[in-house]
């Protein structure tokens, strides 16, 4: 803290002054110092602003109320953004006091608006609604339309968070109506409209209306001015992170990546805790979506911990929602369910604590406990079903996968062919619009597509020469053998895997086996796995054929479109492989990552390590 400014604080705090003329120049310098410090994020700046607030609060409003108000107005958003909630409340209450003691309704309205914002993000909805209702009355009294829009936006957001949705939406709609009567070039009005659209989008997301939520969030991005204040930077990162989540939910990865970059850029320019939180959430989601699951989960867990430090209830909810989405994408329903249950518990406890007190309307609080939980109820029920089914069927699938690995070991010593095919198939399915559960099921099918090779003689599978017609006929029976093996299993994944095992050598033009199906009559899952199987076989070779480069294999896929492969799927597959290669320099390691969870693969690797260690001279 600069010595000159420290002296100003000490002199003002000491109170050895007689009139306004003595206070004014020192208070003016203090206000300028606060304006300078609020651009910094270091501990000394935060401490200086905290100290300045304490000093100003000790002054009587008659001693230059305008400058006192200016100091507090600059301090509130800065302290609030840096999670200095108590100091921010002290400053906002000072603004209200100055307004009341000087009869300035406009100043009192601004202070009450700040109090409402701080209370809302801390989860104190009852106090927030009281303060914002008072601010709204004052804005209407002094005919401050811009102030009324701002208060309505904050009040609507608070009511929605408290599950009073009808009242909240009414506030949003009124604010939008009023904004049409204002100068649309006014930065404050533009920012308020953008945040109202984001709040509406959050509500639609909460009740499961993804498409409307996406459209509203997209509209909010049209009001995108270069940020001028600390509040603007936080708003930009919030809006961008929310849009990233919606884009990923709807499969719009490119848009999500672009706005995650914006989120990171704005956070780096003004790294307040909320901005860092939203940047971390956006980055973690993108990492998971692009296959870097370990890094992504670590980043999202860090964001959850940061939200606890910031102590803003909305951030905590966003952290749990993001983690649940990530675990669902990774087909880990147990962890996803745990996240959603933590979200529900936090929101429910908060509402029980404040809603009944807030408006004393039992009928509305009962409705509030259920209305926006409908989508969450459905999601939890779906995950619980997945967890139960997985526990029941995991042992069967695990046994079949081990059998499939032993089958592929005979012509792929690594045992990873099935894992790579399964992952490629899942990535293509995702590109074609399949949901995460369908993609995961297809990945399991891909892993087991060659399980029928367990029934083939070694002398044929391990033959290093081109196979003769009679041997080819034997090899082709692996599709029917695989179908017979998998058809006896009980799980739905195994049932679909049986179809894939039977049909993954069918060809688009009807020249495949075993039944010569043509075009769309070939099951969709089998058409997808066929592309993945051929690509991996070409790029890794077989006992009778050398491996090809990825580029050569891609050209072969293109050439066989409309002959061996579904032409639309072939085009999507080529694009998917090209994009995946660009993101992962070791494509094989990325595609075979699922093998890390296989005890069988792990045991083989450990055996190889032990043998090598034994063979190495001491």
Quick: pLDDT tens for 69-121: 999 999 998 888 888 888 999 999 999 999 998 899 999 999 999 999 988 88
Report, as an integer, the average pLDDT of 268-274: 85
Question: Position of tokens 């939200």?
Answer: 307
Which of 98-107, 188-197, 365-374, 429-438 shows the lowest per-residue confidence on average (mean pLDDT)? 365-374
Structure tokens at 588: 């094989």
Band (360; pLDDT cuts 50, 70, 90)? very low
Distances (CA, A) of 189 to 74, 219, 502: 19, 15, 62
Tokens of 343: 């979200």
Confirm if 414 and 607 have CB atoms less than 8 A apart: no
Distance CA 393, CA 491 (A): 6
Q: How large is the average pLDDT for residues 21-35?
A: 81
Which residue has 């695990």 as its token pair?
398
Look at 384 and 15; give whichever has higher pLDDT. Answer: 384
Backbone φ and ψ of 429, nearest 5°:
-60, -40
* CB distance 400 to 448 below 8 Å: yes
Q: Could you give the CA distance from residue 517 to residue 507 in angstroms, rounded to a whole number?
A: 7
The residue-averaged pLDDT of 550-563 equals 95
pLDDT of 576 higher than 60: yes
**pLDDT tens for residues 443-471?**
988 988 888 776 555 444 445 454 445 55
Model pLDDT, residue 467: 47
Identify which has the larger pLDDT, 400 or 235: 235
Token pair for 443: 């990945």
Q: Would you call 265 helix, strand, or coil by DSSP?
A: helix
Q: How confident is the model at residue 549 (pLDDT cuts 50, 70, 90)?
A: very high
pTM of the model: 0.67
Q: How far apart are CA 422 and CA 429, in angstroms?
A: 10
- pLDDT computed for residue 392 by the predictor: 53
Quick one: tokens of 219?
A: 């509209």
Contact 193, 179 (CB under 8 A): yes
Residue 181: pLDDT over 60: yes
Q: What is the pLDDT of residue 421?
A: 94
Whether the per-residue pLDDT at 18 is higher than 80: the answer is: no
Alpha-carbon distance of 425 to 443, in angstroms, equals: 6
Give the residue from 153, 149, 151 showing the smallest Cα distance to 108.
151
The domain spans of the chain are 393-613
Dist CA 20 CA 63 (whole Å): 5
pLDDT above 90: percentage of residues in the chain: 31
Report residue 106 as tokens: 């406009």
Tell me the C-alpha distance between 567 and 520, whole Å. Answer: 11
pLDDT of residue 30: 84
Q: How confident is the model at residue 348 (pLDDT cuts 50, 70, 90)?
A: low
What local confidence, expressed as pLDDT, does residue 114 receive? Answer: 93
519 versus 163: the higher-pLDDT residue is 519
What length does the chain have? Answer: 618
Instruction: List, as one string, the DSSP characters of 325-344.
Output: HHHHHTT-HHHHHHHHHHHH
Confidence of residue 491 (pLDDT cuts 50, 70, 90): low
**Angle, nearest 10°, between helix axes 478-487 and 469-476?**
20
The region of weakest confidence among 68-72, 170-174, 340-344, 530-534 is 340-344
Does 282 have pLDDT greater than 70?
yes
**Is the dihedral angle over the CA atoms 74, 78, 79, 85 positive or is it negative?**
positive
Between 610 and 41, the higher pLDDT residue:
41
State residue 479's pLDDT score: 83
506-533 mean pLDDT: 95
Given pLDDT bands bounded at 50, 70 and 90, which one contains residue 159? confident
pLDDT mean across residues, the chain:
80
Tell me: pLDDT of 396 over 70: no
Cα 85–272–221 angle (5° rounding)?
110
Q: What integer pLDDT is reported at residue 371 of this predicted model?
A: 47
CA distance 450 to 481: 9
Specify which residues 542 forms β-bridges with: 545
Q: Which residues have a Cβ under 8 Å from the Cβ of 461 and sit 6 or more positions away?
A: 410, 411, 453, 475, 543
- Superfamily of segment(s) 393-613: Hypothetical protein af1432 (1.10.3210.10)
Q: What is the pLDDT of residue 391?
A: 58
DSSP 468: P
d(CA 219, CA 160) in angstroms, rounded, equals 20
Query: What's the confidence (pLDDT) of residue 603?
Result: 56
Q: Which residue has the tokens 């996240």?
A: 339
* DSSP characters over 538-549: HHH-BTTBPPPP
- When pLDDT is cut at 50, 70 and 90, the band that residue 500 belongs to is very high
């Amino acid at each position: 803290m600069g010595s000159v400014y420290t002296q100003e604080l000490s002199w003002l705090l000491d109170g050895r002054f007689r009139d306004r003329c003595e206070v004014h120049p020192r208070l003016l310098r203090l206000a300028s110092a606060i304006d300078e410090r609020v651009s910094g994020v270091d501990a000394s700046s935060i401490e200086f602003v905290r100290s300045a607030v304490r000093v100003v609060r000790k002054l009587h409003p008659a001693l230059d109320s305008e400058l006192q108000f200016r100091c507090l107005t600059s301090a509130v958003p800065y302290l609030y953004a840096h999670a200095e909630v108590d100091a921010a409340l002290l400053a906002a209450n000072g603004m209200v006091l100055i307004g009341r003691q000087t009869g300035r309704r406009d100043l009192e309205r601004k202070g009450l608006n700040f109090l409402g914002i701080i209370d809302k993000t801390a989860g104190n909805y009852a106090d927030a609604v009281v303060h914002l209702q008072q601010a709204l009355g004052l804005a209407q009294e002094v005919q401050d339309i811009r102030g009324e829009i701002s208060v309505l936006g904050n009040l609507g957001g608070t009511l929605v968070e408290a599950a009073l949705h009808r009242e909240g939406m009414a506030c949003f709609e009124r604010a939008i109506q009023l904004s049409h009567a204002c100068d649309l070039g006014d930065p404050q009005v533009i920012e308020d409209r953008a945040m109202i659209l984001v709040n509406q989008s959050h509500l639609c997301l909460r009740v499961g209306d993804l498409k409307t939520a996406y459209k509203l969030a997209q509209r909010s991005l049209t009001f995108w001015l270069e940020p001028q204040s600390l509040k603007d930077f936080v708003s930009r990162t919030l809006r961008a992170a929310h849009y990233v989540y919606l884009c990923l939910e709807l499969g719009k990865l490119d848009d999500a990546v672009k706005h995650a970059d914006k989120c990171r850029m704005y956070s780096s320019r003004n790294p307040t805790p909320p901005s860092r939180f939203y940047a971390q959430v956006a980055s973690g989601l993108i990492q998971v979506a692009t296959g870097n699951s370990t890094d992504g989960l670590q980043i999202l867990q860090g964001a959850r911990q940061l939200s606890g430090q910031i102590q803003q209830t909305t951030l905590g909810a966003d952290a749990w929602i993001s983690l649940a989405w990530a675990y669902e994408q990774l087909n880990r329903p147990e962890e996803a369910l745990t996240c959603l249950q933590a979200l529900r518990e936090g929101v429910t406890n908060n509402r029980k604590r404040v809603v009944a007190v807030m408006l004393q309307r039992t009928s509305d609080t009962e409705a509030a406990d259920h209305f926006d939980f409908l989508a969450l109820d459905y999601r939890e029920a779906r995950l619980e079903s997945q967890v139960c089914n997985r526990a029941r069927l995991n042992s069967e699938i695990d046994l079949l996968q081990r059998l499939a690995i032993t089958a592929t070991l005979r012509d792929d010593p690594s045992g990873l062919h099935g894992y790579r095919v399964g992952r490629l198939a899942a990535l293509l399915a995702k590109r074609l619009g399949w949901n995460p559960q369908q993609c995961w099921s297809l990945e399991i099918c891909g892993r087991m597509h060659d399980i029928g090779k367990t029934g083939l003689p070694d002398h044929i599978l391990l033959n290093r020469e081109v196979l003769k017609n009679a041997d080819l006929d034997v090899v082709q029976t692996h599709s029917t053998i695989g179908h017979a093996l998998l058809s006896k299993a009980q799980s739905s994944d195994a049932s679909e895997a049986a179809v894939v095992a039977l049909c993954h050598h069918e060809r688009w033009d009807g020249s495949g086996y075993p039944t010569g199906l043509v075009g769309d009559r070939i099951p969709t899952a089998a058409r997808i796995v066929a592309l993945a199987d051929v690509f991996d076989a070409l790029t890794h070779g077989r006992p009778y054929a050398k491996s090809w480069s990825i580029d050569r294999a891609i050209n072969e896929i293109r050439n066989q479109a409309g002959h061996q492969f579904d032409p639309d799927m072939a085009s999507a597959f080529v694009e998917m492989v090209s994009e995946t290669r660009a993101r992962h320099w070791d494509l094989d390691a990325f595609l075979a990552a699922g093998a890390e969870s296989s005890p069988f693969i792990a045991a083989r690797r450990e055996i190889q390590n032990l043998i090598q260690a034994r063979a190495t001279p001491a």
